[in-house]
Structure formats: structure tokens, C-alpha cells
Structure 1
């Protein structure tokens, strides 16, 4: 089974690494880190991830995983969307984490489908034609989307259960000791205080570039 993990500049590392650690131990899995070139791809200010193949070389995969990150420039540039349009039709499963769903939407993968994303980017996802859900993990046909960042682990465990059965998926969950007991109860916009929500909205606006929405539609 070939699983393609999509790389692009300024993606969020946990969006990639969480699903990778869940899915890569699966039976007969070959993992591919696919990007525009073989040059190391920045994931944050200091981390670099080295691709194993390129969009030009890899023309099919059984499973596609698209992480989130800073979406606007990638959406406007269009290389990831072009590759997704090529490989999605023959993939068994196409998945995303966080703002990765906006890349699926820009490729037409989410047309008429329910999908989720980071809570601060729901309006952007809706503007790209998806039916936005607030659920943490959403499955619609052969497409599975996860909400913000840490939801990528939930998304991948959901897919692992589908691919290899509940016992295997539960075994992976135990192996990575995924049994969260966070010190705070502010992990969703519905639970967080207004002060915390405003703080994060400001951070997101700065990180993603509040004025870049025009580039998305270019």
C-alpha cells in the first residue's frame, strides 16, 4: 500500500508527523514524502523535512495525506492542487488535516462534500465549495478530513481502523500512548474563553496573512 504524505512550504509539522506515526506501521505500507522538488521543505522556522519523491514522479497512491499549514500562497501557486487533481481519482482514500482541506477543496476534491478544518479557517473552506462541518473528523465517501492540527491523529486512527480493523488501530493508539489528559479544557473554540479565542484569532490572522484571501481566488 502506497501512502503519499504531501509536503509544501510552511506546512505544520504535527499535521504530517501525527498521521505518519499512525499509518506508517500498517501492513505492507510504503510511505512517500512527495513535494514539488527534492529540496528540504520548511515546516516552521527551524524544521526541514526531506522529500523522497516529487509530484512529477509519483502519479498514483492508495492513500493521500495532505497536512495543513499556511494555505494562501500554496493555494494561489496551485502546484499541490494540480497534483491532487491528477492522483485523487485513482486513490482509495484522500485525507487532510487542518487547513489541508482547503487544498483538497481548491483541487475540486470537496465539491458537494462535507469536510472539516481548523475552526479559524471554516469561512475560507466554505468559500472554496465545501460543506463545512464542525466535527473533529469527517468522512464523506472516500475522503476523510480532520480538524485542527492534533485532530490529524484522530483522522489517521479512524482510517487505520477502516484499513486494518479496530484491533490494529487500537494497538497503534496504545503504542503511541494516545490518551490525552490536557492541563486545560480550551481545546475547541466552543470551550475556550472569549479572551483565549481572541488571542488565537489574532495569531492566526498574523500567521496566515489576513490580506491574502485575494490570492486564493486568483
Structure 2
């Protein structure tokens, strides 16, 4: 079987050639304009695989320096999208993509997981059977009685605190009501004093404060200032 070689040129594109009887024969040629604008790339076992429309398009060996130069030229000329590596290919045994290695690794990891589950199960059973973790019925009864006692004590303390808070709130309300009543009484006394002391000698003095006079219900009203007896004193 004759090997086919790949040659890339910045001007001409990609050439597929083979050596036959000492001569280099051109098999196919892809100009840069004929290549898709976008290729998907993936690296597997020393080869750069390019896909287009989810189909294999081109593979280039990129271990040698010539192969690396061809890959660099292709990826300079075209828009390359890299496939993201599946999560399982990051696990030892699945990185190479070999089916045999993946099968062996799966069996190995399954045995390891089964072994760990058995250890965990035995540990749980051992903990449940440990005498120090078991309570007798008498001990459980004592614990239950202690819980009830603690609950009763807590309820009593809560009721006492509630009653004290209500008493304090009632005392505060009474003190506020008393202070309000006292303030109202003082205000009434002050108003009465002001009414009694509002006195004017004559209409001239009254009009300095009340330019239009006052009616009969006003504290400053005096009958001697109401000459026409119309219940309005010192009117103009």
C-alpha cells in the first residue's frame, strides 16, 4: 500500500501526493478557497482531526515538525473551533479513546466503588451494634422525665415573665394617663389665668390688640365699652 502525504502551501493550498517509483505524483488538490471557512478540530493520538458538518474532513499527523507546520498553516487560514473534551475523557484510562483501556478502567473503578461501599456498610453496622450507643428502657424513661421537668420549668418561667411584662405595661399606661391629665389641668389653669388677666382700660388700648373690637363672648369684652348695647365692644 502506497503512503499518501500531505503538503501545504500558503499560496496553493493543500496537496495530496504519493511517491511512486521515485516520483512524486499529485493525487488531489484543495485550494484555500475550496476549504470550508470553519472547521472543528480535535486531537487524538498524535493526529489533528478536522470535521465539517459533523463529518470527518481531514486528518493531519502533527507529531513531526512538518506535520505541526501544516496544522499551523491550516489553522491560520481557517476559523477553527475546538471540541470540548467530555468529562469522562479526563479520567485515567479514558483519555486515549481506546475501547480496551476504557473497558479495563470501567471494571477496575467498579471494583473499587464496590469495595468502598462494603467498607462503609460494615462501619455503619458496627456503629449500630456498639453497646455504648444503646440506651436501656430505664435510661430512656429517665431522659423522658427530665425532658418533661425541664419543659414545665420553662413554661412557668415564661408565664412569670409574661405577667411581669403585662404589669409593667399597665403601670406605664397609668403613669402616662396621669401625666396627660396633669398636663391638661395645667393648660386649663393657664388658660383661665390668661382670660382673667386680659383687661383693657378703654377702647383705644383694646383696639391696639384687637383692631376691629371684640364680641360679647370674648374675654376682653366689657359692657362699658359696648355703648350701643349690640353685644360688640369697641367696634369701628
Higher relative contact order (CA 8 A, sep 6+): 1
More helix by share: 2
